[in-house]
Structure 1
Amino acid sequence: MPHTAFAKICFYIVAHADDWQLFMQPNAYEDLVAPGTKVVFIITTAGDAGNDQAFWSAREEGCKSSIRFCLAPLTDLTESSGSVEINNHLINYWSANNCVIYFLRLPDGNLDGSGFQRYNNQSLTKFRAGEFLTITAVDNSSNYDSWENFDTTIQSIIQDESGSIPDIWVNFLSPHTTINPNDHLDHIATGLAIEQMAMISTYRQAAFVGYSVHNTPIPLSPDQLFWKAGMFAAYEKAVYDLSGYSTIRESASTYLKWTLSSARYTVLNP
């Protein structure tokens, strides 16, 4: 996607459409509203949970709604969407002002990496382990014939979006269980792909904690809590309105703990 003159660009590379709202706040919000900063989200899986397009496309719309909640109070939104070819893969995107989201739509791997029958039990975990020689997007928009091909595609998005922007940040969920225990295996696989990128050592990085973020909670300020809770509420409402599915119903107590917790992360400089 073409870019204008920004001083800083921040990538948030996650497996699912609600990961960055739950586990990367207030960082993502502060980057979204910072002058001179471009923010790019790369969502590696469809987050389908074995469901059809009505569900996973609702999750994408929820992700967009979270962005609108953050940006609309600042100014009018200019939105666009479509697909773009990157590294010989057709990838769906949506943009609004200084933000772009790429949806790779690879199959959700389930908590344990076993995948779901609807999509032939494919998963990033199995793909990386060589149990599948290829992995195909749930909408058949693209097919990856090696783990390296998947990895270089993420790298290509970073290079294309960064252009000549001098300050580049890559934010992701840590794949290391000593730092980030009991996390979703899609989170782990996505983190491993990022760490294995050829150019990762040239970027500033922040490696976040996922599911266990509430184990040692860091309190959010009232303002931070307002924006975090609001963006997840915007996500929840969009998903429910479009699919009839309530994410919070999975475990209201867990989502409450996650929402009340500030991000925990480690910064790595080049």
Structure 2
Amino acid sequence: MHDEDLSGVEREQDAVRAARRIRATRRGLLVGGLALVALGGGALLVRQIRRSGGPAPAWTPLRAITPPDAPAALSPAVEAPGIDTAMMVWAHADDDIIFANPGLADAILSGATVRAVYVTAGDAGKGIDYAREREAGIRAAYDVMRGVTGEWDEREITLLSGARITRFVPADEPRLSISVLRLPDGGLDAKGFAATGNAGLTQLINGDAAELVPIDGGPAYDLPRLTATLAELLAAAAPRHVCTNVPHESAYAHGDHPDHSCVGSLVRASAPAVGLTAERMSYYLGYPSQDQPVNVTGAVLDAKVEVYRTYAADDPVVRCAEASTCLAQPGFGEWLRRTYPKTEAELRLS
């Protein structure tokens, strides 16, 4: 039917209906826009991941990292020596329980000393309160792995490097500790978040950002301070073994979170300064582990998922009430079913 065949009344009615459709569309766009703002970067990101079937991180070239000098004195971060000390240095508070378990849980159950360090706040631009929720979640996950729920002591430590870290130690078990640097999250696109100046580890390493300010307001890090801090923490722990993310130089870093590969490269560059040889290092595949065969099953998988579920109870972005719900999360479910440590010789370095 053409317009010229409509009566004046019909044309008026069509105009009213069209105006209503326009108003409804505008309301929908407004509500949708407000909803995106309310969700925040992290929650929106996870919903995108769930719809798409997994994350699609950006691949950004990374400059070579200049190794730091060895610490000149005994660090204030030194803790009591332990048995079979393992140093764990990760980009985010959950990298270890997703990618390095069941190895981490086995070490804790064996009585080994474990010193964990998380370099970024994993804040997704959502601020310190969200970062602290993640930190509470990882402490709860460690309680599950050690089989004891108790109080954790918290204190701030100013290092020789000038950095300030926050350390958590179970009041009843000093062989375990968690230290956080709370640097800004770099995001899947390696461009950071507006709330933290659109800068993260990628920009710091590549010289596009002169420094990064921790989201808790601590002293800023330039790249020499960051590598010196990592070397100092490694020396203070005196570990027998070091576990971290796969470095950027590895073919396995393609498709991984940019923060993961930045931290792997930072640790790999810093470790030799304190006498840690390649044989004492393990690098864990991150997102690309989903392309490898499943190797965590049965009761071991059940235990791993329970640790993750406990952590996720404090992380509103990935919260899952049941094990089946956790395993149904695209990306996360695949990573939980796998763990792939690599030696220096196995990294397929470019």
- TM-score (ref. length: structure 1): 0.87
Q: Greater relative contact order (Cα 8 A, min sep 6): structure 1 or 2?
A: 1
CA contact (8 A) 1:29 1:227 kept: no
Counterpart Cα distance in 2 of 1:237 and 1:78: 18
Instruction: Look up the match of 1:7.
Output: 83
Asked if 1:185 is matched to 2:258, the reply is yes
CA contact (8 A) 2:183 2:214 kept: yes
CA contact (8 A) 2:235 2:274 kept: no
Instruction: Look up the match of 1:151.
Output: 227
Counterpart Cα distance in 1 of 2:168 and 2:96: 16
Higher-Rg structure is 2
Residue 81 of structure 1 deviates from its aligned partner by 1.0
Asked if 1:105 is matched to 2:182, the reply is yes
Residue 132 of structure 1 deviates from its aligned partner by 0.9
Instruction: Look up the match of 2:243.
Output: 171
Which residue identity does 1:260 align to in structure 2?
R
Which residue identity does 2:143 align to in structure 1?
R
Residue 53 of structure 1 deviates from its aligned partner by 2.0
Counterpart Cα distance in 1 of 2:253 and 2:266: 16
Instruction: Look up the match of 1:128.
Output: 205
Corresponding residue to 1:142 among 211, 219, 224: 219
Structure 1: unaligned runs, 5 residues or longer: none
Instruction: Look up the match of 2:348.
Output: none
Deviations 1:169-199 (A, max 9, x none): 1101112341232001001111111111123
Counterpart Cα distance in 1 of 2:312 and 2:151: 23
- The verdict on how the C-alpha distance between 1:207 and 1:107 changes in structure 2, with shifts beyond 3 A counting, is same
- TM-score (ref. length: structure 2): 0.68
Which residue identity does 2:329 align to in structure 1?
A
CA contact (8 A) 2:297 2:337 kept: no
Counterpart Cα distance in 2 of 1:180 and 1:246: 23
Asked if 1:118 is matched to 2:214, the reply is no
Greater percentage in strand: 1
Q: Which runs of 4+ in 1 moved over 4 A?
A: 247-251
Q: How does 1:13-162 map to 2 (within 5 A)?
A: 13-35=89-111, 37-73=112-148, 77=150, 79-86=152-159, 87-96=161-170, 97=173, 98-144=175-221, 146-162=222-238
Greater percentage in helix: 2
Counterpart Cα distance in 1 of 2:152 and 2:215: 24
Counterpart Cα distance in 1 of 2:163 and 2:125: 23
Residue 247 of structure 1 deviates from its aligned partner by 4.9
Deviations 1:203-236 (A, max 9, x none): 6000111001121124224332122101100111
Asked if 1:222 is matched to 2:298, the reply is yes
Counterpart Cα distance in 2 of 1:77 and 1:33: 16
Counterpart Cα distance in 2 of 1:52 and 1:15: 17
Deviations 1:129-156 (A, max 9, x none): 0011111101111211x31210110111
Counterpart Cα distance in 2 of 1:199 and 1:216: 33
- The verdict on how the C-alpha distance between 1:16 and 1:200 changes in structure 2, with shifts beyond 3 A counting, is farther
CA contact (8 A) 1:16 1:47 kept: yes
Counterpart Cα distance in 2 of 1:200 and 1:135: 27
CA contact (8 A) 1:24 1:208 kept: yes
The percent identity for this pair of structures is 21
In the alignment of these two chains, the number of paired residues is: 256
Residue 268 of structure 1 deviates from its aligned partner by 4.4
Corresponding residue to 2:274 among 199, 210, 220: 199
Deviations 1:25-61 (A, max 9, x none): 11111111212x2101110001011112221111111
